[in-house]
């Protein structure tokens, strides 16, 4: 179970921790941004457990309008999540997300990067289950759509 969230200065957080590796890989400017935040005394919400960092949340302070479909919220001081990183071991637990909500968040992360959702490549490329790739290629070549994959998902659910 996660530890207690606490505000901690960037300057007290070890950027060298492997927890930050994916952010440094995905955003080459991340170390410079992190250093600027450390230099200006910024803080982040973090928690650690016996395995190390479990979560890092940087809250931005902004004053801007928020445009919604039917209205615009006025420009007032707000806090907005600027950076959010969770250790893999916590997936949706920290945010109290359902599995469906967590999966949607992973799908959005993949789409944002124009990549496969980050939880899928290892499974898809596992050398011990080549039929995953065979099935995906066959479905692609036959132009099978969402109805087909819904049937596959329903079939999988019946096996549980």
In a domain, 103, yes or no: yes
Q: Are residues 113 and 125 in the same domain?
A: no
Q: What is the pLDDT of residue 96?
A: 67
Q: For the domain that residue 115 is a member of, what is the CATH number?
A: 3.40.630
DSSP type of residue 90: G
In a domain, 1, yes or no: no
Q: Are residues 14 and 77 in the same domain?
A: yes
pLDDT tens readout for residues 140-158: 999 999 999 999 989 998 9
Count of H helices and E strands in the chain? Answer: 6, 4
Q: What is the pLDDT of residue 11?
A: 97
Q: Structure pTM?
A: 0.56
**What does R_g of the chain's alpha carbons equal in angstroms?**
20
At residue 3, does pLDDT exceed 60? no
In a domain, 97, yes or no: yes
Q: What is the pLDDT of residue 95?
A: 62
φ, ψ for residue 98 (rounded to 5)? -75, 165
Number of domains in the chain: 2
Task: Kindly report the average pLDDT of the chain as a whole number.
Answer: 86
Is residue 16 a contact partner of residue 35, using CB atoms and an 8 Å limit?
Answer: no
């Amino acid at each position: 179970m996660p530890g207690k969230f606490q505000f901690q200065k960037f300057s007290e957080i070890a950027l060298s921790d492997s927890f930050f590796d994916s952010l440094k890989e995905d955003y080459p400017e991340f170390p410079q941004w992190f250093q600027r935040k450390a230099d200006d005394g910024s803080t982040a919400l973090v928690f650690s457990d016996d395995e190390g960092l479990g979560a890092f949340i940087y809250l931005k302070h902004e004053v801007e309008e928020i445009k919604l479909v039917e209205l615009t919220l006025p420009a007032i001081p707000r806090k907005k999540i600027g950076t959010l990183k969770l250790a893999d071991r916590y997936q949706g637990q920290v945010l109290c997300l359902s599995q469906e909500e967590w999966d949607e968040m992973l799908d959005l992360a993949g789409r944002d990067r124009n990549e496969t959702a980050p939880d899928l490549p290892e499974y898809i490329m596992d050398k011990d289950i080549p039929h995953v790739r065979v099935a995906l290629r066959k479905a692609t070549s036959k132009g099978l759509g969402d109805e087909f994959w819904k049937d596959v998902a329903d079939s999988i659910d019946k096996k549980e």
